[in-house]
Amino acid sequence: MRIRRKPHAKQMVQEHPRVVKEPEQLRGKWHTLFGNDRPIHLELGTGKGQFLSRVCQDRPAVNWIGVERIEEVLLHALKKAEETPCANLRFLWMDVNRLDEIFAEGEVERIHLHFSDPWPKKRHARRRLTHHTFLHRYKKVLEPQGEILLKTDNSSLFDFSLEELEATGFTIVESTRDLYHSPYVRGNIPTEYEQKFTARGVPIHYLLAKPTGDFSSTR
C-alpha cells in the first residue's frame, strides 16, 4: 500500500475508541476487555481493514484484533471498522515484535498473515513476518492447537514461509498455490489486495500451519 503521510494521524489513532490503550495491562486477561472467553484471532497488518470489518460480522463467536504499526494504514482500517457494529473487534497500534509482551502464553487461537510485505532482497529476510525470529514469538502466544494462516501472491515468500515454518516446529496442515482452485476457498474472506490479484488472474498461495513438538530451534 502506498502510504500518504497525514500530520494528525497519530493523534487520531490514539484517540480512537477501538484502539486499545496500554494493551500490556491486558496480558493474560483479554477476556476482561471483551467480556467473554471466546477465542482470539489476530490479523498482523490490517491493510485497509476490509477483512476484519467483514469477518467480525461473519464470525461473531471470535474476538478479532488487528495489529498495525503504521498509523496512516491503521486509520484506513479504523474508518472501515466504523461501518460495522462489531463489539468483537479491536485494534493495536504497535510493532509485531511486541506480541509476547501483550499476549500471554496460549492466549491466541489463530494468527492471520495476509499479503505481508515479501521483502524480496535476501539481506532483508529477517523483516519477513514468517522469519523464524517472528515464528518464535507467535508460538509463545498461540495455544497448543493454535494456527497460523497465510495468504500471499508472492511465490518466493510462500516458499520461504514453508521452509521457516517446518524448520521451527510447525506442521503444514493445508497448503495450495492456487487458493481459488482448491477446496480451501470455502469460507474464505478476501482482502482488498486479494480481490485485485484475483481479478488479474494472479493465483493466491495459501497455507495453514500448527505448532508441534519442541520449539527450541538452534537457528
- CA atoms of 148 and 110, how far apart (whole Å): 6
- CA atoms of 159 and 207, how far apart (whole Å): 11
Instruction: For residue 204, report the phi and psi dihedrals to the nearest 5 degrees.
Output: -100, 125
Taking alpha carbons only, the member of 169, 179, 163, 168 closest to residue 213 is 169
- Residue 19 per-residue DSSP state: B
Cell numbers found for residue 72:
496512516
Task: Judge whether 106 and 143 are in contact, CB under 8 Å.
Answer: yes
So which residues are the catalytic ones? 117
Give start and end residues of each alpha helix (H) in the chain.
Answer: 9-15, 31-34, 50-58, 71-81, 99-102, 132-141, 155-167, 192-199
